[in-house]
Structure 1
Amino acid sequence: MRSPKFTSILLSLLPLPLLPTCSWAAATDSIPTQNTQYCLFGHPLGQADFCFGLSVTNHSDPRPDHDFHKDFHISLSVRRSSSAGGRRGWTAVGTGPVMAGSVMVIVYGEPGEGRPVVSVRSVGGHHQPGVVTYRGVDGEEVKGEVKGEGEVGKGGRVRVVRAEWVDLREGQGGRRHGGDEKGRRHDDDEMEEARVPDGPVAYAARVEVVCEMCDKFGSVQDWGGAAAATGGGKGGGMPWIWAWNDDQDFEQDGGTWEVGAKLKMHRHRGGSGGYGRFWVDMARAYTDGVKEVKHEWDFEEREQNKRVGTSDGPIGFGAWFDFVVRVWSLAKIHGVVMGVGFLGLFPLGVVMIRMSSGKGRPFKRHWRVQAVATAVAVGGAMIGGKLSKWHMPKTLHQWLGAGIVIGLVVQSVLGWRHHVDFVRIKRRTWISYGHIWLGRAVVAGGFANVVLGMLLSGKAAGSIWLVVVVGALEAAGLGWWLWRAKRQRKQVVAGEDGTEALALMPRASDGGDNYFALDESEEETSDEDQDGKISDEEALRKKSVDSASSVKKGSVAVKD
């Protein structure tokens, strides 16, 4: 066990920019026997309130050429009030970064009455977790109900060694931590409106769980928890999850205080609102040569001990990169891909057709960018289809997404047809305007669907408003661009041969390119070969522009 003095000296040697990344807090007056701790003191604000401690030991004495496993000694303290609200809800912590495959320890019950309920569960996906086989505090075996892909434990064993309510008012005066009692929490789900706790902290459910050979569980294996404990893991940090519900009334819902009670979902908002992640420095959690770990229970009352060998984010750049690559769900990838397409690439394509500067013809730049944007959007739609297992759409987000994909296909065909017709007849048709307006509708619908997707996935209000503001600014900018282009176009007289004398924006001195049009020779010739050359059509267009300029100058001379 490292001493407080050694830890303080070590942290003082770190560069200041690294300290927020690690965000480890070393206590100066007391270090409990848990090597690592993570605490949230949210009760006075109506938020999650618990303390988690972890120590890792060898399951058996290491021998040469022998693989030995690790035991995880988990301590959990959940603080509750003595009023009716104290019996509501549940609190859980689990191994790994997501629910799937996690070994979750869930605590609930009526404060001060009997023992708190300790339910060890897992699940194969983001569904209702089921009880796994484990031993209770009295040595009784609790039969598991998790089967198939959700089954955890190919040899690992879990046993509860302690579960009791402790009255914090005896000799401690019901001390409060975490902020002003008048604070309120804001949530965006269907549960009851957030409320201020109806009483001070009175009890703590204190639970000890030993996960024997815990490295056999998939959620620990995948993150190298055992290897990290001996210095061989990636960055030494392993992600854990926590979740919280303060609304469920087990007795009113017709349930009982049983380990297999049906649980209501946690709140949708991340952070103290309902769920979150934290990282444990597994190398620090490892206790070499210790067969039994005895835990002290003073850490939940000490603010300075709320982060000991733990962090709210991955510890180190390598852990961040590993987390993003391995944990980002398909839903997040789907959202990012669609956001890039509809907030970035499609608006860029609209700008490209109206820019005269830069390499290449505007039409070429336009269709190339739009082709990439369409490919990105279709790829994102394929990910969305996989997420829904290719079932019929059920939500507005899914229906709108399907309509947008169809609209993209139709809009692309209209764009190709417009180009072919314009090269032939040198004027726009209804197909041209259909391509333009359908494109605008698709981009607007795509942006709206990005926002709907964020709402559906329970993103924070701040993130959603940021996307809305960015989209509104883009729409305002493009609207001004189109208005200015239309105003400029009205000042130009079209050529007698039917070609457009000027594109939507003022071009260079050569008179500009046809809007949405290239002749066949230009399609087959590189941009570099076109420099310094003027085709017959360009000559006619230039003549038309010069004629229009002469008429305008003559009118000014007459007025003078």
Structure 2
Amino acid sequence: MKTSWLTILPVWLLGTIVTASTPLQYCSVDAEEKTDLCFAVASFKNSTTQANDLSLHISTKFVVDATGWASVAIGPKMDNALMFIMYPGGEQGRITVSTRTTRYHAIPKVVSEDAPETHVTKTWIDDTGLYNAQIMCYNCESWSGTTLDVMSPSQPWIWATNWDQPTHSDDVHLKLRPHNAKGFTMLNMASSYSESGDIIAQVSTQRITQEPNTDDAGPAPPTMQDESDDHHPAKEHHKHSAFGLVSLHGFLLSFGFFALTFGVLGIRSGSSKSYKIHWTIQTGGGSAIVVGCLMGIYLSYKHGGHFGTFHQWIGLSMIPSVIIQGLLGYLHHVNYLKYGRRTAVSYYHIWLGRAALIIGNLNVGFGLNLAGAESFKWFTWYAGLAIQLSVLIPMWYFYARGKTILDAVRNKPVAKDVVRYESVEQDAFIVDDELDEFEDEGLGHDDLKNGKD
């Protein structure tokens, strides 16, 4: 029997439409992670430019109204990825979409002019509270940061969400806090590609992953760089374990710089055991700093081997600084016993120590910011700084007036004919055995302090 073309044509057209609109959707819905995110993608050849354009629909629900952000990005990791970020706008019912990128794991910034042209075609909030944004990325394959292949059966994508940052802003440059949850997927882009005709990606009402031929997509690539210790491809947490490497790294460095302050207090206390107190505390604090920095290097290599933040570079400089500072302290002690006065080494030791203490404390803050630390850790850091200042400021005040800490505590006046107290060059650097030798020669503690031979 002869088949009529009028009968075949409708069937062929229907098949073409179904093939071109094959659903390509990824969802992560996890109540524990406070995440409800879906995104759908489709691509087609632009008949005018002959380039491949990308349609993207992001649909997410925020736990608290006007709070949080959601991001979808092209590529296997944050470094150089093209990111589409959305968050509640400045007024009720508005949505802000920001196209950004970053280097390594730094805070994403709005893309430069050489990025593909993007256009937000539609934004809306539906009756269920879902925030939606449809985005067109023209000639999206031209992005040079990470590779996009609209014909790839295994194109890497990453996503991230934050549920607790107050956003509620129309500013596309709004500084974002780190994500609370994140993940990746491999999408069969070829399944939703069309050689002709505009296709608009649409997230379905079923908030589940819908992707044909996912079994052929291949293994998952590395995901966004993170400092998490519980690294699992199916469910990854940005929140660090209280006893994980990241938290231990931060604790050791916080403790180390905090301890250095009391080591300085020890050497200027005026006690006969000042030197022993000083070097004991500084050795312990310095060791904690070196170990903490080595852990930071390990964590950086574990998550891609990139060193692109001030926190990392300052941390790298701290290792040689602390080691050199210890050697300078020892040489200062030896030279003072030999010459009875400060030498150039003494001043190097003093000023390098001051710089390391200030910069190190600040770098702990940079680390907290990089890790997206919760409020309790920030409060602890601020409290630690306040305690250190409450120790250092009075100490320097009394030192400028020629008093040791013990003199100030005992309210002991300083005689005009007494040599001004300078902890780093007087008997504070004489250990007990050496003090005994001086006493055997008839020179007591007061004689040394008055500079007698």
Structure 1 length-normalised TM? 0.40
